[in-house]
């Protein structure tokens, strides 16, 4: 479900974020033509790292960093420091892959994802930590705003996972309850826009199964049931406009969009095995394996990212007979292999099957790029 779109987003974003040599600066990420939620994620990531470093430094300092003039100047300095922070390219690629998969989960199941990710390290977090981590999630701004406003208004200092889940369920439910069908559909615009990248056609249709998961996450069983019925009739996807029409039919038939009684979300299996990112600085958001990718798939994504667009088109044309799905399938298969010897044999078999001259420029270049990826993983 949306796996191909997710891989395309990762690959295209990686190609468009050029960077310099072996590093990628935040300013390069923000300047690239990529989905805004990815930019939001990386900016929040680096801001969080910087905040943690400054907190540790200032905690033991004898100087008054809370003076208004100092805080104002520090804020200006922080902006420059964040923009010029550079990720090593490999670390950036891993982080990009994890970020996109987490955003995909958030777009489809926002309540479940927030409750799972924000409380990955602790069962209770402070309001300050909550505010910092919420910055990672760019889509569905209304939800972030509602949470922040409530926490500030009620002067809440800490929240448990159960308290947070119940709070988000209630606030989200109240927000959507009195909306018309087309209004509720427009709430989902960030999801449609994200998966419409890089075409940005404005006419993207999303799988019915993904939409069912979205409405299940909100507790709208009447909508989920209607979509399940449409799916059983062979309706595989919905464009935003036609989804709005279906939602309005449901509203007219069953009444307001009522989320019903709160049901605690299940704790994800990945809870006990957090994703480890080598040498990750303190303060960054921890992403569980379920929001990233399995190891084999990650290697395939990294291989795709290492292939420039021009090379990719030539490989598809000259090696895979204009068949892009076969190209992607081959890369995915290679990504599951643990040694260059296995990958080399697989490549030779593909060359023979497709009648490719192994000494041609395209074949030599293809072998060179793939072998480099295995060399970096020794």
pLDDT tens track for 255-280: 999 987 776 555 444 333 333 333 34
- pLDDT value at position 123? 77
Helix, strand, coil share (%) of the chain residues, nearest 5: 65, 5, 30
Decide if pLDDT at 96 tops 50: yes
As a whole number of angstroms, the distance between CA 348 and CA 121 comes to 46
Classify residue 174: in a domain, yes or no: no
What DSSP state is assigned to residue 81?
H
Last residue of a domain, one of 38, 70, 87: 87
Classify residue 121: in a domain, yes or no: no
Q: Are 315 and 366 in contact (CB under 8 A)?
A: yes
- pLDDT value at position 165? 93
Domain count, the chain: 2
Its pTM stands at: 0.73
| CA 179 from centre of chain | 27
pLDDT band at residue 60 under the 50/70/90 scheme: confident
- Burial (0-12, 13-18, 19+ Cβ within 10 Å), 149: exposed
**Joined tokens for residue 317:** 């044309």
Last residue of a domain, one of 64, 87, 110: 87
Contacts 24+ apart (CB under 8 A), 232-239: 235/208, 236/207, 236/208, 237/205, 237/206, 237/207, 237/208, 238/205, 238/206, 238/208, 238/211, 239/203, 239/204, 239/205
Instruction: Quote the domain boundaries for residue 350.
Output: 295-375
Decide if pLDDT at 330 tops 50: yes
Last residue of a domain, one of 32, 65, 87: 87
Sign, CA torsion 318/32/300/189: negative
Task: Answer with the residue of higher pLDDT: 254 or 374.
Answer: 254
């Amino acid at each position: 479900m949306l796996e191909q779109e997710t891989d395309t987003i990762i690959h295209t974003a990686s190609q468009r974020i050029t960077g310099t040599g072996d590093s990628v600066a935040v300013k390069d990420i923000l300047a690239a033509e990529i989905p805004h939620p990815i930019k939001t994620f990386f900016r929040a990531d680096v801001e969080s790292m910087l905040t943690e470093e400054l907190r540790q430094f200032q905690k033991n300092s004898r100087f008054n960093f809370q003076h208004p003039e100092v805080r104002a100047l520090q804020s200006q300095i922080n902006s420059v420091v964040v923009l010029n922070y550079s990720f090593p390219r490999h670390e950036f690629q891993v982080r990009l892959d994890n970020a996109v998969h987490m955003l995909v989960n958030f777009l489809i199941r926002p309540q479940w994802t927030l409750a799972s990710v924000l409380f990955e390290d602790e069962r209770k977090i402070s309001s300050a930590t909550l505010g910092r981590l919420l910055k990672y999630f760019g889509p569905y701004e209304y939800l972030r705003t509602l949470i922040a406003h409530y926490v500030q208004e009620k002067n809440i200092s800490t929240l448990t996972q159960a308290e947070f889940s119940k709070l988000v369920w209630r606030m989200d439910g109240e927000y959507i309850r009195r909306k018309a069908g087309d209004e509720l559909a427009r709430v989902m615009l960030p999801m449609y826009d994200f998966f419409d990248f890089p075409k940005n056609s404005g006419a993207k249709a999303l799988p019915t199964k993904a939409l069912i998961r979205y409405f299940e996450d909100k507790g709208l069983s009447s909508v989920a049931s209607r979509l399940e019925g449409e799916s059983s009739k062979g309706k595989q996807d919905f464009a935003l406009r036609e989804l709005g029409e279906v939602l309005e039919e449901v509203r007219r038939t069953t009444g307001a969009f009522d989320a019903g009684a709160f049901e605690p979300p299940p704790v994800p299996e990945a809870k006990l095995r957090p994703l480890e990112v080598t040498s990750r600085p303190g303060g960054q958001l921890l992403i569980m394996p379920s929001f990233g990718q399995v190891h084999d798939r990650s290697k395939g994504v990294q291989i795709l990212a290492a292939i420039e667009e021009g090379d990719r088109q030539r490989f598809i044309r000259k090696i895979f007979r204009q068949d892009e799905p076969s190209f992607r399938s081959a890369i995915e298969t290679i990504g599951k292999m643990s040694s260059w010897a296995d990958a080399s044999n697989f490549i030779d078999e593909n060359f023979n099957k497709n009648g490719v001259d192994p000494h041609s420029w395209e074949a030599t270049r293809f072998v060179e790029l793939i072998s480099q990826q295995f060399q970096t993983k020794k």
